Chain A
Amino acid sequence: QVQLQESGPGLVKPSQTLSLTCTVSGGSISSGGYYWSWIRQHPGKGLEWIGYIYYSGSTYYNPSLKSRVTISVDTSKNQFSLKLSSVTAADTAVYYCARNWVWSHDYWGQGTLVTVSS
């Protein structure tokens, strides 16, 4: 059973960089065919796709966030990470990581709330 767990600071100051890590257990992040996604949900709002990465390092980002987003992978730790720069209050959201396999986001983490505030 694949499990994903987000971790990182719950509070980030405006203009700083938000950094989160997703730890994958129950399966190898290097297994072929899987992409690893970040998705966020603003309070009381819908889901917004941020981007995803393949274990080889190839990435695809939401065009609206692309200039501020970096997703990376650490296969030795079975983790992938999100960095979002120059954050504002509009980046306050619950951030989810998920596995993207065969055109399916099947397994999700429980989510972590990140608040941007001074």
Chain B
Amino acid sequence: QTVVTQEPSLTVSPGGTVTLTCASSTGAVTSGYYPNWFQQKPGQAPRALIYSTSNKHSWTPARFSGSLLGGKAALTLSGVQPEDEAEYYCLLYYGGAVVFGGGTKLTVL
């Protein structure tokens, strides 16, 4: 069973920068896994932020960016805002299959 691992929780100060990562139990994450990132706030559906490693949707704020870092997919938030406090999920494609990470709870404090 493939497992996708994220940091359970992270804390960042307003205006700061934070990087969330997404690792695969099968080895290094590459662009061929087409990493996606989603933001979910309590009581809401997930909102897509990043697809195919680093591509932004039209609604994605500029402070969010995606990359590959040290064999993992990464989501970096620069100039964090209080409204960025949320759960963040990554998603990896394994051929036709899709696996979500367990999520990272980001606290802005």
Contacts and interface: CB of A to CB of B under 8 A. Distances in A.
Interface of A: 37, 39, 46-49, 52, 60, 62-64, 96, 100, 102-111
A102 B45 contact: no
Contact of A49 (B47, B57, B99, B102): B99
Nearest to A104: B51
Contact of B97 (A48, A60, A104, A108): A60
DSSP majority for the A interface? strand
A102 B57 CA distance: 12
Interface string B45-89: 111100110010100000000000000000000000000000001
Contacts of A106: 48, 51, 57
Q: Which DSSP category, helix, strand, loop or mixed, fits chain B's interface?
A: strand
A14 to B, nearest CB: 25
A36 B47 CA distance: 16
B91 A105 contact: yes
A108 B36 contact: no
Contacts of A39: 100
B79 to A, nearest CB: 24
B100 A46 contact: yes
Given A108-B48, A110-B45, A62 B100 contact: no
User: Can you list the 3 inter-chain pairs with the closest CB atoms, starting with the nearest?
Assistant: A104-B51, A103-B34, A49-B98
B24 to A, nearest CB: 15
B45 A109 contact: yes
